[in-house]
Structure 1
Amino acid sequence: MTPHVLVTGAASGIGAGVCELFASADGARITAVDVRAEALSRLADRLGAHVIAADLADAEAAGGLLDRAWQEHGPVDVVVNAAGIYPATPFLEMTAAQWDRVQDVNVRAPMLITAAFGRACAASGRTGSVVNIASGAALRARPGAAHYCTSKAALEMLTKAAAVELGPIGVRVNAVSPGFVTVDSAANPVTEEYAAAVSANPLGRRGLPPDVAAAVRWLSGAEAAWVTGTVLRVDGGASAGTTALPLHWKGTSEVQQA
């Protein structure tokens, strides 16, 4: 039986990479969600995906998304909350509206979708898996990204809280935390200067959507059947430490030798 996978933020980048891997490796039925209708249409043509154009900052749209996909295209087996926005807003210029929109898309929408998925699984006696796309920004703040960093830290705790409450009904909830991933995204553009500064890691290359998609697929599958509430860091080792610093001292001091 082919799985039905619901992916938000599916029009490009990591979300599109997730759709492509599930479709090619598992023959999955994909319900792809994004605010960009034209880009979704191109994905549908390429993968035969079902598409839903929706702004996840709208609580009603986000809250009804799972039930709509379930009713229109059959029971959902996997939910991947990949949608996220990353504006550049200096802290002293932050408005309530700017802050709220980031939290609404990056945290509230995954909460509403995951809760709806849990209710649907409980009512139908089915099990399922949720994978949230977090970020290294949950651990380290960045200039102009207070709203984004806070949202990703909250998403990691949401992952754990949902895993605790949904585990007894057979729904696993995990997260993948990517390092810097090269994507062609009109939603979250970055300069090359920024990309170069944020992408240093021990493995020496920037991530690609397939790197993250492979981790998402593993966490959602049978091999990870006893894994829930975890955050898997797929970042080339960036969260382990930095290669951007020089050797702090060449040699050993007299005191260290004593």
Structure 2
Amino acid sequence: MRHVLVTGAAGGLGRAIAEDFAEHEDVALTLVDVDGARLAETPVEAVRITADLTEPETCESVVEQAWRTAPLDVLVNAAGIYPSVDMIDVDAETWDRIFALNLRAPVLTTAAFAHRGRSGAVVNISSGAALRARPGGGPYASSKAALEMATRAAALELGERGIRVNAVSPGFVAVDSDCNPVAEDYAAAVSVNPLGRPGEPSDVARAVRWLASDNASWITGEILRVDGGSSAGASHLPRLWPNTVRKGRNA
């Protein structure tokens, strides 16, 4: 039986990840979130820890608490925030709060996991925003771009300890969120991709579980784009000119 720790487990993606592990594997789960009430509603058997990961010492503490149940095998860093704030309006407090949860927390929990001297797998949750900024999303996009580099750096250094570190980068996935509601026109615009549908939390959860499994035992330092192909290019744009290649002739 593997022991899996999931942060941000009360949120849409974190909850789906926890449920997917519980449904498909014989696992012990430790779930962490700042919202204790919503965390209690996650319909899986688990140890639940209510904690604010923006506090540096809390990152070490949640790993230590989880370890008391059993040594950890998998760490999934799914906790994150994505407020809308223009770069011209951002202040130090907002910037630091975003980076504290989206970047520093997964770095510190990964370090705490690695210090225990046990091999295992870490999966960070990034975002397509790491590659493409959007109006109002600059600080969030910056934090996710930094998280992807931190993922590679950790993979480079922790491989000799038997720890694989990867990330899943979702495209647009519709999740319920009281603090970060998504307008219908925005959802319609960002749902355009080659596969023609927005993502589901289960799409991300399956990718996380695969990266954490032995089936991915020779994969580390990778960013897995789970986005319906939207990072491949802009499929919704028209052709600049008609196709000039005809059968039997060169253009």
The letter of the residue matching 2:96 is D
Q: CA RMSD in A?
A: 1.5
- The structure richer in helix per residue is 1
- For 2:243 and 2:24, the matched residues in 1 are separated by 51
1:110 equivalent to 2:106? Answer: yes
The letter of the residue matching 1:3 is R
Q: How does 1:81-100 map to 2 (within 5 A)?
A: 81-100=77-96
Q: How does 1:119-134 map to 2 (within 5 A)?
A: 119-120=115-116, 122=117, 126-134=118-126
**1:91 counterpart SS class:** coil
On the 8 A contact 1:63/1:109 being kept in 2, the answer is no
**1:93 counterpart SS class:** coil
**2:59 counterpart SS class:** helix
> Which residue is equivalent to 2:25?
26
**2:232 counterpart SS class:** coil
**1:52 counterpart SS class:** strand
> Which residue is equivalent to 2:160?
168
- For 1:9 and 1:173, the matched residues in 2 are separated by 18
- For 1:63 and 1:96, the matched residues in 2 are separated by 25
Distance 1:27 1:188, change over 3 A: farther
1:228 counterpart (216, 220, 242):
220
> Which residue is equivalent to 2:52?
55
- For 1:62 and 1:248, the matched residues in 2 are separated by 50
With structure 1 as the length reference, what TM-score do the two structures score?
A: 0.93
- For 2:90 and 2:226, the matched residues in 1 are separated by 30
Q: Which runs of 5+ in 1 are unaligned?
A: none
Deviation sequence 1:113-137 (CA, Å, 0-9, x none): 00000001x1xxx311000001110
Deviation sequence 1:16-65 (CA, Å, 0-9, x none): 1110010010021111111111111111xx21111111111111112321
Q: Which runs of 5+ in 2 are unaligned?
A: none
Deviation sequence 1:214-246 (CA, Å, 0-9, x none): 110111010111110011111000000122211
- For 1:3 and 1:131, the matched residues in 2 are separated by 15
How many residue pairs get aligned? The number is 248
Deviation sequence 1:163-198 (CA, Å, 0-9, x none): 011100101000000100111122432211111112
1:38 equivalent to 2:37? Answer: yes
Give % identity. Answer: 56
> Which residue is equivalent to 1:219?
211
- For 1:145 and 1:57, the matched residues in 2 are separated by 20
Q: How does 1:182-193 map to 2 (within 5 A)?
A: 182-193=174-185
The letter of the residue matching 1:240 is A
**2:48 counterpart SS class:** strand
The letter of the residue matching 1:57 is T
Deviation for aligned residue 1:251: 4.5
The letter of the residue matching 1:238 is S
2:238 counterpart (224, 237, 246):
246
With structure 2 as the length reference, what TM-score do the two structures score?
A: 0.95
